[in-house]
Structure 1
Amino acid sequence: MNRTERLYKIDRMLHERRVVSVDTFLEELGVSLATFKRDLEYMRDRLNAPVIWDRDAGGYRFDKQGVGDAYELPGLWFSASEIYALLSMQQLLSSLEPGLLTPHIEPLLTRLKSLLEQEGMSAELVLKRIRIHKVTARAYEPEHFAPIANAVVQRRRIVIDHNNRNRGEVIRREVSPQRLTHYRENWYLDAWCHLREGIRSFALDAINRVEVTESDALELAESEIQAELDSGYGAFTGKVVEHAELEFTAPRAQWVSKETWHPEQKAAFAENGAYRLTVPFSNPTELIMDILRHVPHVKVVAPESLRRRVQQALQQGLENL
């Protein structure tokens, strides 16, 4: 652990145990005597910590605060990704329905609360002051998640009733689950579809029924799955990959340039401040939706087929107004 972590641990040990021996400090901190003494000297001289040696008690303890600046530890906070993970974990654990995990949830929540309170404020206050909005998350039937996840891990085929939202029909399919993917706050099942004889990605909120079979799932190479589903933009892609060239106006570039649209994207600023972004795609559905979010500050440079699709979407939108 680094020095800041050690200072917090020394402070916590003294508050919880009142008197702590040198040997106990050295064992729990995992440092040498010289390092411990430097930490103690830093706390006394720099942080005004009222730590004294109590000969009768045989250890260090806090004395009454003397004259001068109040004792205060340096701020210890989490990175943006860490606080997001902690809050997400707490929300997820708190929302779990009663089940096999219920007896184990409370200790996890207690530990998360302890981590969130490192700054000396209540976890409730942290949750009140830092919020996570999952505005793009779609509701799915929670009872479907467990059998699908089990089938993925246990390598079993499942039969699903899948709602094809484009055609407005429910199709029964037998699929071999390959992996679960969490993308843009929503869950997807990546699987081999025995009906279509190809790799498909199914949104869990579009699955109406799940039946786990005794048949072994067809095993696919990870490279094959990646080539089919990870090569292009969005959750629904394919092996045939094109490249979209987009140009954003200078004002909008300040936002878009901070975003990652695809791991293999290419981007550059033009002399006039415009931002050029090139991303691979197969199925253009999600890409078109994101392009439309930036109208009128975006131009589809290429390919022509994508430009026409965006123009058609804009025209249909005008007709519906």
Structure 2
Amino acid sequence: MSRTHRLFQLMQALRIGPGPRTAARLGEELGVSARSIHRDIATLREIGAVIDGEAGYGFTLIEDNALPPMGFRDTELEALVLGLREVEQIGDPELATAASEALRKLQARLPPRQAHRLRHAVLAPHRFERPIPPAISAQDLRQAAWDEVEVRFGYTDGYGAVTERQVKPLSVVYFDRSTVLIAWCCLRNAVRVFRLDRMRGLEVTEQSFRPHRVPMLREALEQMRQEHRQDHRQQDRQAAPRTRRD
């Protein structure tokens, strides 16, 4: 197999396979060594493919410059517009501005009929009350989560107690009236949820926890779902009428 053909086969494997996929597994499929796969991944990155991952963890194809841009069906376009306009209302300043810019770029690149449909969309979100603005840079916090590095900040809980926290940021979630961070708290040695408007003095450290954010987030969400189900079962038991016994 020529190297050009192998690069093509590797791209195909990354496109259709569930990621992340290790070099050893990809090498088995293509009949080459893991070292060859690492060299090929580096070559694909050099020619424009965006491939996430690293040795020992696995690789995932994020963006393929060989595939043409996709068009949108009208309903897909309406969903995009609705989502971006929602972000304009609930996002922090940087995110809201980015949503507005994305809408303008999208409109400039659409065919005339769809650009008109975007400009005069039927669907629109509206928030009578917007989330409380974050007290720290949400953009820096999001970047720290992407970079998988720990952050430090002061935190005031609902009772007014102030603590210093160092956490592994996993995900930022936007609720109706507040924006929260799901994180692994090094102080409590457990998953915790922090409101961004109660955080102060955000500091991004150099302590990396790559490449564990995705599996940690998956486990955190599952834990939160289980706790939610337990709370509901407990509420149902408390609300159920008691059987009278003689």
TM-score, normalised by the number of residues in structure 1 = 0.40
Q: Which of the pair is proportionally richer in helix?
A: 2
Larger Rg belongs to: 1
Instruction: Compare relative contact order (CA 8 Å, sep 6+) and give the higher one, 1 or 2.
Output: 2
| TM-score where L is the length of structure 2 | 0.49
